[in-house]
Amino acid sequence: MAKEKKKGVPPEDESVDLFEKSGATAKDPAETAEAAENAEETVTETPAQTDAAAENADAETEADTAEEAAEAGENGKEQVKRDPRDEKIAELQDKVLRQQAEFINYRNRTDKEKAQMFEIGAKSAFEKVLPVIDNFERGLATLSDEEKEQPFASGIDKTYKQLMTVLTEAGVTPIEAVGATFDPELHNAVMHVEDESVGENIVVEEFQKGYKYHDTVLRHSMVKVAN
C-alpha cells in the first residue's frame, strides 16, 4: 500500500527542489554574524547622528532668530530716532530750556544793573550833600563855647548831628585821617612835613574830611603827611 502524504508538509525532495529553484544559496555562519554586528552598529550610531543633527538645526534656528531680533531692534531704534514727532518734541524742549536760561541771565543782569544804578544815584546825591556838611562844620568851628550855649547855635548843632545820623544809617561814613597811615586810595596828600615825633607816612592834619559810601569813596580826605 502506498503511504499517504501529510497535508501541508512537502516531501523532502520537493523542499530541496524549491530551495534550489528560488536561486538562494546557503551563507557562511561567520558572514552572517558580521552582517548582524554591522547592522547593530548602524542601528546604534543612527540616534547619535540624529541628535547631533537636531542640535545643529536648533543652534542654526536660534542664531537666525537672534540675528533677526537684533536687526528688528536696530530698525526699531532707527524708526524711533527718525520719528519727526520725537525730533520736534526734543527741539521744543531744547528751545524752552534755552529761553529759561536766557530769562534767568536777563533777570540777574537787570538786578545787577539796578543795584549799580541805585549805587550811582545814591553816590551822586550824597556827594551833593557833602558841601552842606562842610558848611555846618565850618560854622560851628567858629563859635566860642559861650556862643554854642545860645539857643540858635544849639539848634544848628542838633541839626548837624541829626543829618550825620541819617547819613550814617544810609551807609555814609567819614574816612579816618589824623593819626592813620597814609593810604592813596583814601587820602589826598596836599602837604608834606618833617616831624620826628610821628612815624613815617602818618597823617598829621586834615584840611577837608573825606567820606565813603559803603566801600565806595565819595570824596578823598585832603591831608598833610609827615616824613
Q: Domain with 208 in it: what CATH number?
A: 2.30.22.10
Q: How many angstroms separate the CA atoms of 195 and 139, rounded? A: 30
Judge whether 63 lies within some domain: no
Judge whether 193 lies within some domain: yes
Judge whether 76 lies within some domain: no
Domain extent for 209? 173-227
161-204 tens-digit pLDDT: 999 999 999 999 999 999 899 999 999 999 988 888 888 889 99
Judge whether 120 lies within some domain: no
Q: Read off the amino acid at residue 97.
A: L
When comparing pLDDT for 145 and 2, which is higher? 145
59-81 tens-digit pLDDT: 556 555 656 656 655 655 555 55
Domain count, the chain: 1
Give the angle subtended at the CA of 120 by the CAs of 208 and 160, to the nearest 5°.
40
* Residue-level pLDDT at 11: 46
Q: At what angle do helices 84-141 and 151-170 cross, to 10 degrees?
A: 160
Q: How confident is the model at residue 222 (pLDDT cuts 50, 70, 90)?
A: very high
Judge whether 162 lies within some domain: no
Phi, psi of 196 (to 5 degrees): -75, -15
Judge whether 219 lies within some domain: yes
Please name which of 168, 146, 170, 141 lies closest in space to residue 157, comparing C-alpha atoms.
Answer: 141
Judge whether 205 lies within some domain: yes
| Chain CA centroid to CA 209, Å | 52
Judge whether 127 lies within some domain: no
Burial state string for 139-162 with b = 16 or more CB within 10 A and e = fewer than 16: eeeeeeeeeeeeeebeebeeebee
Please name which of 139, 136, 188, 182 lies closest in space to residue 162, comparing C-alpha atoms.
Answer: 136
